[in-house]
């Protein structure tokens, strides 16, 4: 091989340096290319109790692991030679437009994760043209969230309390504030056993123990924000001093039935969605009540561990009730490919919870914007690689759910050995 002395003109194209970014927040968010990258940043910047409340689930945390594995266990079937120079990611959901096939799920205690809390989520959702859902357990009021997202779509999530009058007072406030959809969550008769929270002594407001102080030392910005902004409280509830589990068990009503759901449906003037459907029979039952939509969800694995995997229920639910009600999916979504697969198998829409909170903890409103950007980029790229230019072109033929867990026939008994 003949060698030569390199010329400056040959080296110049190889020696291009990026302009330095002096904004530390923008630098770390720009470096995040996936939701898991945002999770890594969030864990580094957030005290353990707050991070674990977001990241954890119930008991052995099998439900959330299985839900995520279900999305990993798919095979896409792309079509080639299609014009995908322009891709439309918008859809119509519950009578309104969304620029992307996902919205922000209702999450509780949100300002504990990062002080901008629901305000950041609502503003980011409004900017992106997607719905924002406020939880009954939110730390910003119904009216303040509306003010943060005045022209966007706001949804309100309701837990039925033992005190029905207080529950319906919240519903009335949401209607008066212009929320267009009510999400009635039905999978919380009692609180799930969230063991990370118990081990961390997670309470509202956070307790300053020696352990929490030591854990906070490398995370001064979280504590500066926490101590210099309005006190953390439940905006829709009276002040509470105690553990999260104690609050949930005090507030949630294990006597709620289908009759209560029918009664709520008659009270609400907008669209009504039932969140927490985990069987086909229940999907049919609430659809028969005339609800506008259902959310296939096991509460992010935070209630009954080993609960059904919503993504696995989706194809049959779409066949059984998809023509009669709008199907929304949550639990386990960590990428735009997960969302595309859900739409292909019959979901009209999806909701993101942890993914949004990871972005919030990583960088406030800018971090939520980054979450939405990452998912939007992944959705667009996946659609192009599949050869579809709009969500309506996605069909079950584009996705195969690969089998990892399969039920055994409960009627088949092992036979004793022959004598």
Catalytic residues: 299
Q: Taking the CB of residue 401, how many other CB atoms lie within 10 A of it?
A: 18
Q: Tell me which DSSP letter residue 201 carries.
A: T
Classify 307 in phi/psi space as left (phi over 0), alpha (psi -120 to 50) or beta: beta
Which ranges of 46-95 would DSSP assign to H, the alpha helix? 48-55, 62-72
Distance CA 285, CA 232 (A): 39
* Tokens 């996705």 -> residue: 399
Distances 172 to 167, 182, 372 between C-alpha atoms, Å: 9, 11, 30
Measured in residues, the chain has a length of 419
- Cβ-contact 152, 177 below 8 angstroms: no
Which ranges of 159-293 would DSSP assign to H, the alpha helix? 164-177, 195-200, 210-216, 220-227, 244-251, 258-267, 280-288
Q: What is the CA radius of gyration of the chain?
A: 23
Q: 3-class SS at 89?
A: coil
Crossing angle of helices 24-31 and 35-45, rounded to 10°: 140
- Cβ-contact 48, 219 below 8 angstroms: no
The encoded tokens of residue 318 equal 């779409």
Nearest CA-CA partner of 282 in 206, 365, 184: 184
């Amino acid at each position: 091989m003949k060698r030569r002395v390199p010329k400056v003109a040959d080296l110049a194209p190889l020696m291009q340096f990026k302009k330095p970014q002096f904004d530390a927040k923008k630098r770390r968010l720009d470096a995040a290319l996936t939701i898991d990258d945002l999770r890594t940043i969030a864990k580094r910047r957030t005290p353990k109790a707050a991070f674990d409340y977001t990241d954890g689930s119930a008991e052995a945390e099998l439900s959330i692991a299985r839900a995520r594995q279900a999305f990993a266990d798919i095979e896409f079937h792309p079509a080639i030679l299609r014009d995908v120079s322009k891709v439309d990611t918008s859809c119509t959901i519950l009578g309104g437009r969304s620029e992307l096939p996902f919205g922000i799920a209702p999450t509780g205690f949100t300002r504990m994760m990062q002080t901008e809390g629901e305000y950041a989520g609502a503003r980011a959702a409004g900017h992106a043209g997607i719905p924002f859902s406020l939880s009954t357990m939110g730390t910003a009021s119904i009216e303040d969230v509306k003010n943060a997202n005045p022209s966007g779509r706001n949804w309100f999530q309701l837990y039925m309390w033992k005190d029905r009058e207080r529950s319906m007072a919240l519903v009335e406030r949401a209607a008066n504030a212009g929320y267009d959809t009510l999400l009635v969550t039905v999978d919380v008769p009692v609180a799930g056993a969230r063991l990370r929270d118990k081990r961390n002594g997670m309470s509202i407001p956070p307790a300053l123990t020696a352990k929490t102080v030591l854990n906070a030392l490398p995370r001064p910005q979280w504590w500066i924000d926490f101590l210099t902004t309005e006190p953390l409280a439940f905006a829709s509830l009276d002040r509470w001093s105690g553990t999260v589990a104690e609050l949930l068990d005090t507030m949630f009503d294990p006597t709620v039935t289908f009759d209560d759901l029918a009664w709520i449906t008659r009270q609400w003037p907008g669209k009504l969605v039932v969140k927490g459907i985990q069987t086909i029979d229940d999907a049919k039952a609430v659809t028969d009540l005339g609800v506008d939509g259902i959310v296939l969800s096991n509460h992010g694995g935070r209630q009954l561990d080993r609960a059904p995997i919503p993504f696995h229920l989706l194809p049959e639910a779409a066949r059984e009730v998809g023509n009669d009600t709008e199907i929304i999916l949550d639990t386990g979504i960590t990428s735009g490919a997960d969302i595309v697969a859900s739409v292909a198998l019959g979901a009209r829409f999806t909701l993101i919870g942890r993914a949004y909170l990871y972005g919030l903890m990583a960088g406030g409103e800018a971090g939520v914007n980054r979450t939405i950007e990452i998912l939007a980029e992944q959705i667009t790229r996946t659609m192009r690689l599949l050869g579809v230019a709009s969500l309506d072109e996605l069909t079950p033929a584009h996705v195969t759910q690969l089998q990892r867990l399969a039920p055994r026939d409960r009627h088949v008994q092992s036979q004793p050995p022959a004598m």
